[in-house]
Amino acid sequence: MTTATTPSPGIAGWFHSATAWLDARGKAAWITLMVLGFVFFWPIGLALLFYMIWSNRMSGHSCRRSRSSFTESGSTGNTAFDAYKADTLRRLEEEQTQFETFLQRLRDAKDKAEFDAFMEDREKAATEAPDSSEQMHAGS
């Protein structure tokens, strides 16, 4: 007679559930745990820091994912809020486009000013060079 036993999750299962619990609460939970690790026993805090860097939990991808899910999500059921959200997102996209256009014009103006200064310096050097060579020939 054999008895079927389910394997216990063990350390790996506990670790996976703990990381899932912390991921659900966001980057602040990870940072809080790391700081507490440093406070109580610094090698734990250091290990958590290395783990967070190694697993890309410090990169901020979770924030981008939640923002994109908010903007791409369907209707909330509240038509007034959905209209406000759509209008606000449209306005923000227009402002972003205008700001990027402004930055491009600013970069172009800076590049033009630098190029004009370069050409002016080059022209000055070209006009000064013959004068000094003429003085050398006249003095001989």
Give the separation between CA 123 and CA 112, rounded to whole angstroms: 16
CA distance 47 to 33: 11
Higher pLDDT, 130 or 18: 18
Cα distance between residue 100 and residue 34, in whole Å: 38
5-49 pLDDT, tens digit per residue, is: 444 556 667 777 888 888 887 788 888 888 988 888 888 888 888
